[in-house]
Amino acid sequence: MLKKIIKEYGIIGNPLIHSYSPQFFTEKFKEKKITDSAYLRFELPSIDDFRKLLQEHPQLRGLNVTIPYKQQVKPYLDEIDDKAKEIGAVNVIKITRDGENPWLKGYNSDWYGFEKSLKPMLKPWHTGALVLGTGGASKAVVFTLKTLGLDYRLVSRTKQEGMLTYGDLDEETMDKYKVIINTTPLGTFPNVKCCPEIPYHLLTKQHIAYDLTYNPIRTLFLQQAMTKGCDIKNGWEMFVYQALRSYEIWEGVHWGHKF
């Protein structure tokens, strides 16, 4: 006899067709023999549908938040964790219910996932990083780089105050910033033939190329970096670590994971 589902979790965003979170958590629940919980996909046409979602799913204990709602969801929350405030984006919501009124607290686990994934790669000469892209995904990356004490520069397609453009990436800059992080969607499935327009010929064996994308496993950005001998990594570890941290926030339970 199947145990009744009494705890629901899920992810909100739009679109969600490529989100791996439902599969990841469903497999984890099975692995951990958790039979009273389910993880659902909530593709919201607008953030205005958020309150309705909470009303229709009174068993919700927690949510992950993805594009485009990591910033839009903030006004709907009762409380925001200090790190999420500083980052300026929420990707985890813990839902506590007292009667019919839910209490929503926002967190960010992206920075945690990125730090856990990047830190083991760093060598003494990795003192600076170039962050490709200035969207929501870059916010947690920048927070992490500050935490790790790395100098960083944001790289944008258009000229903006305090930022570099791709045309500014000369030999001196590429030598100074030996960690290159792609936070743009360029190269993500199905548009796998795209990549950021950096001077790949200036990459060396001392460079790290990190792509937040994990579909495909090796983007064109990582492929080109690999030909120059760079240490490369995609965003899979970051995804797993942030997902594990999400469940720890929701239920206070830490799940280990082997890669």
Catalytic positions: 70
- C-alpha 200/C-alpha 143 separation (Å) is 26
Residue 196 backbone dihedrals phi, psi, to 5 degrees: -60, 145
Q: Name the residue type at position 1.
A: M
- C-alpha 44/C-alpha 68 separation (Å) is 10
- Terminal CA-CA length for the chain: 34
Q: Which residues contact 221 (CB under 8 A, 6 or more apart)?
A: 182, 186, 187, 195, 196, 209, 211
Tokens standing for residue 35? 């039979």
Burial class of residue 228 in the structure, from the number of CB atoms within 10 Å of its CB (0-12 exposed, 13-18 middle, 19+ buried): middle
Task: Please name which of 247, 259, 218 lies closest in space to residue 117, comparing C-alpha atoms.
Answer: 259
